[in-house]
Amino acid sequence: MADQEFFARDNRFWVDLHQCGTMEAIETVATRINECYRYGIKTLEIIYGTPDIYEGSIQQAMDVLISGNRYVEEQGKVHAGITVTIRQNPNPSPQDENMHFVGNSASYEGRSQMAYEHDYYPFRKASNTGEI
């Protein structure tokens, strides 16, 4: 299941690329790296599933994308994914209710679970219709 979450206490962003195609995964991770740098987030965890070492795999695409990204300080392998350390931004945007992450698509995701496709605001309180 494609999913994402920001853990403020650890200053860490987590993204799960299950159900994403390779091009969607590339777009998502490139965007997340830029956003993590923008907000001064130090760690990006990327889960892509069982490592598949073949031409066109998500793992291969992540290795290429991350190794050539100017905001990546270092990377480390974890089971079924990779952990990326983001370079320190000398002027990060505030981590407040306006902090948001661009929505992405997951082409193999069932239509009943589309939260990943919407912009993500980790510090905004969700409102229900009774509160509005």
Instruction: Please give the CATH number for the structural domain made up of 2-107.
Output: 3.30.1370.110
pTM summary value: 0.85
- Residues 61-83: tens digit of each pLDDT: 888 899 889 999 988 876 788 89
CB 51 within 8 A of CB 59: yes
Q: How far apart are CA 2 and CA 10, in angstroms?
A: 21
pLDDT of residue 111: 54
